[in-house]
Each structure stands twice: as C-alpha cells, then as structure tokens.
Structure 1
Amino acid sequence: MSQHARQAVERILESSSVGTMATIKNNRPHTRFMTFFHKDLTLYTATTKETDKVEEIEQNPHTHILIGYDGEGYGDEYIDYHGKVAINDSDELKKQLWTEKMEPWFEGPDDPNYIILEIKPETVRLMTNQVGNEPQEVDLA
C-alpha cells in the first residue's frame, strides 16, 4: 500500500460524510445512505434503536460502505470499505457526535433511542475510475 492511498482515504473521509451502507435483510443486500463520522479508519453513524438496520446488524454484523464518490466521472477517487458493526451506546460518544442536524430524529443526545453504529474496518480500498488504475488496499495496522 502506498502512502498516497492512506492519505487519499483520509482526505476523502475529511471531505465526504455521506455514503452508502449495506446490510443483509431477508438474505439480500439492503443499502441506504448514511452520514458518517470518523476517527482514523473507524466509522461512526447515528441511528435509532427502532430501525431495520439494527436488527439486520444483530443477525449479521458485516457491512459494505462506499463513500466519497462525487459523480464527476472518470478519475473520481472513492472508498470501498468492508467492516464489522457494533452498537455503541456510550453517552460520551453520543454527546461527542451530536449535531443539531439530528434534531428531526432525536430529542437530543440523551434520547434513549439514539445510538451509534461503530464500524471497524476489515478491508479499506482506494478506488478510482481511471483505466489502468487498480484499487489500492490500505494497511490497517
């Protein structure tokens, strides 16, 4: 893995917060757009306890996320992320990640239905749409 790939992934995570997150529902992929926060290569996303994805994650904690593609066409770099999801109900983390944009869904950071999905990376690849550029896997160590 080149240093370029790691730096590009970090740059993409800083500039792109919305991506797709896939889980398994009824033995089929189920994908939705989510807003992500990150620390290093661990991703976090807010959700409610009362959602299909929580049940899906309890049955199969593996996820696939695409983040960073901005639709400009050939040459766009984006992240192909495979990870394992755990539910994090830490009051400290919920307060740290809370933003006013969450108010339509939650009463505040102390809302009992507000939880964080913590996604630990298993494989992270820098992707590009340029012909001849192969995906570059990021060293997770």
Structure 2
Amino acid sequence: MNQSEIRANIEKILEGSHIGTMATVKSNKPHSRYMTFFNRELTLFTPTAKDTDKIEEIEGNPYTHIIIGYEGDGFGDEYIEYEGKVRFNHSEELKKKLWNDDMKIYFEGPTDPNYTLLEIHPINIRLMNKKGEPPKELEI
C-alpha cells in the first residue's frame, strides 16, 4: 500500500468516525477519556470545557495519543493510532462552525465562555488492523 492509499484510508476513517479515546498524562500516568473529534486535513479538533482536568494535563504535557475508528465488528476492523501535539484554539469562528446541538449537554451554546477547542497536529499516524496486515504508517 503506497502513501496516497494509506492517507486515503486514514481520511476515510477520520471522516466516518468521530468518537475516540484521547490519552494525556496525569500525575505521570496515562489518563484516557472518550472525546468527539472533527478532522480538517489530518488536524483534529475536539471541544472541551476550560475547567477540565485535561486542560491542566495538556498545559503540563502537550502530547496526546488518540485511538479512533474501531467499529466493534471484530478482528479486521480498521482503526487509527494518532500521536499528536495539542494547542488551544479559541477561534470564535471555528467554535461556531464546529458547534452542533449535541454539545448542549456541556455548553450553553457556541459562545459559552467555558467552551474551547483542542487543536491536535499529527506527529505520527498509523493505520491499524487492516484484515490482519501489519500497521501502515503515514509519512507526515
């Protein structure tokens, strides 16, 4: 599989899967949680509240590991291992663009002052478990 095929498969998974696990470091130990992700040219965005543990964790260590794409059908399901560096994105325009009504359980609306975005830039992306084949790494 060449790089353009690997990228196409990764982009397909990122466009079709929006829930994944995101790991940070808390007290020198891994700390994972489920997050909702939006993809823009392999950069991931995820909404979060400014008063969460993950904000403090990312301020202490801006690197993350994300697993996204597994559909639960069993052996052979494709998924992605995504290593990235996180920065905070407070763009009002982007927050409005990514807003959806499912977020109302956490925020009052797209202008809620507690609502912010994590912007995750890829360092390494691996396509995993394609019908038992070895992982395929995308050159970043």
TM-score normalized with structure 1 length:
0.95
Q: What amino acid is aligned across from residue 24 of structure 1 in structure 2? A: V
Aligned residues: 139
* Structure-1 residue corresponding to 2:122: 121
Residues 25-104 of structure 1: matches in 2 within 5 Å?
A: 25-104=26-105
Shift of residue 2 of structure 1? 2.9
Q: Which residue of 1 aligns with 2:14?
A: 13
Output one character per residue of 1:36-79: Cα deviation in whole Å (capped at 9) or x when no partner.
00101000000000100000000000000000011111211100
After superposition, the C-alpha distances for 1:10-36 in whole angstroms (9 at most, x for unaligned) are 110111000000000011000000000
What is the rounded CA distance, in whole Å, between the counterparts of 2:130 and 2:43 in structure 1? 25
Shift of 1:117: 0.2
Task: Identify the residue that residue 105 of structure 1 maps to in structure 2.
Answer: 106
- 2:134 aligned with 1:134, yes or no? yes
Q: Specify the SS of the correspondent of 1:12.
A: helix
The root-mean-square deviation of aligned C-alpha atoms, in Å, is 1.0
Seq. identity, %: 56
SS of match in other structure, 1:93: helix
For structure 1, the residue ranges without an aligned partner over 5 or more in a row are none
Residue 99 of structure 1 and its aligned partner are, at CA, apart by 0.6
